[in-house]
Amino acid sequence: MKRSSLVTLGLVLAVCGLTALALTGCGNSAAQTEAAQSGEAEDQPKASASNPSPGSGSGMAAIKQASEAGKYLFIFLSKADDDQTLAMRKVFDQAMEKVADRAQSVAVDIADASETAIVDKFDLSRAPMPLVLALAPNGAITGGFPTQFDEQQLVDAFATPGTEKVMKSLQDGKLVFVCVQNGTTISNDAALQGVRDFKADVRYASATEIVTLDPSDQAEAGFLTDLQVPSDTKEAVTIFVVPPGQAIGKIEGATNKDALIELLSKANTGCGPGGCGPGGCGPRK
């Protein structure tokens, strides 16, 4: 199992300084996160992207509609009609014309009482305005643009399918293994063995996601560049990523469960209070 240095790894998964909007469960262990999730199921149902509650406003309805259509959603959020907001709305509308074939859009006044659900969902009450959020069809936030932005920034908010999956899992507070392999790479089974053993451990099972990428997939070229994995890699590569988007291990060839746990333990002690695992702390041993 070869480990590569991650000092220069260009994996950027936090959303334009708006990580706090995208991530949940800071300060929770995996066990606490799982308990919180099960507790929510027992409580009164909450509004979600796929099941907005009555009176949840145009924002939540737009999220549901875009997801069902398999398109991105760009949300223009504001709470006043000042000069800055009006200027950015013009930029927003012009950008949306350019991506109309790939995305839907909606404008939301967060001061409108009917929009409480989306304000709560993204914790927007104290966010700088105006603000644009870009959401992938799976609900991942792929871009956040506060106060001032240009058309190109919005156009560039589209992510690769693999990036969307990884970001969604990280934003859900989960650990992610990005497994890069295909029919021509060697050590495929050995590379997956440690990852599967890790996920099979009851301490990590509900807080771990495995995302497989084909290195020859041109649709993932940008993501593979960020991961510093060449499209013609001869050997399977595994990248271990923890919230909010830190790659703590890049392994060529076989993986081992104990070595992966060691990587997580080191990350937990090296990322400040709370560490780097699901929800910020990682599963307790």
Here the CATH number for the domain that contains residue 25 is 3.40.30.10
- Residues 28, 140: one domain? yes
- Residues 186, 209: one domain? yes
Q: 3-class DSSP state for residue 109? A: strand
Nearest to 244 by CA among 26, 74, 4: 26
- Residues 128, 204: one domain? no
Contact 227, 239 (CB under 8 A): yes
* Arithmetic mean of pLDDT, 186-201: 98
Is 202 domain-assigned? yes
- Residues 183, 79: one domain? no
- Residues 11, 24: one domain? no
Report the predicted TM-score, pTM, of the whole model to 2 decimal places. 0.80
Q: Last residue of some domain: 139, 155, 171?
A: 155
β pairing state of 208-213 and 131-135: unpaired
- Residues 62, 114: one domain? yes
Q: What backbone phi and psi angles, to 5 degrees, belong to 235? A: -125, 145
- Residues 178, 52: one domain? no
- Residues 51, 95: one domain? yes
* Arithmetic mean of pLDDT, 131-156: 96
pLDDT of residue 269: 72
Does the structure show a pLDDT above 90 at 128? yes
- Residues 212, 253: one domain? yes
pLDDT of residue 273: 47
- Residues 30, 145: one domain? yes
Is 281 domain-assigned? no
Does the structure show a pLDDT above 70 at 281? no
219-245: per-residue pLDDT in tens? 999 999 999 999 999 999 999 999 999
Q: Specify the number of domains making up the chain.
A: 2
Of the chain, the end-to-end C-alpha distance in Å amounts to 24
| Least confident interval from 75-89, 90-104, 271-285 | 271-285
Q: Last residue of some domain: 155, 182, 199?
A: 155
pLDDT of residue 3: 57
Instruction: Please state, in angstroms and rounded to a whole number, the distance separating the CA atoms of residues 5 and 108.
Output: 43
Is 83 domain-assigned? yes
pLDDT bucket at 8, cuts 50 / 70 / 90:
very low
Query: Helices 188-200 & 257-270, crossing angle to 10 degrees?
Result: 60
Instruction: Please state, in angstroms and rounded to a whole number, the distance separating the CA atoms of residues 94 and 100.
Output: 10
Is 199 domain-assigned? yes
254-274: per-residue pLDDT in tens? 999 999 999 999 988 755 544
Q: Last residue of some domain: 155, 188, 203?
A: 155
Q: Where are the beta strands (DSSP E) in the chain?
A: 2-4, 72-78, 103-109, 131-135, 141-146, 175-180, 208-213, 237-242, 246-252
Is 130 domain-assigned? yes
Contact 256, 2 (CB under 8 A): no
Is 282 domain-assigned? no
More confident residue, 146 or 8: 146
Instruction: Please state, in angstroms and rounded to a whole number, the distance separating the CA atoms of residues 242 and 97.
Output: 36
Is 283 domain-assigned? no
Is 285 domain-assigned? no
- Residues 209, 120: one domain? no
Domain containing 69: what range? 19-38+46-155
Contact 181, 237 (CB under 8 A): yes
* Arithmetic mean of pLDDT, 122-126: 93
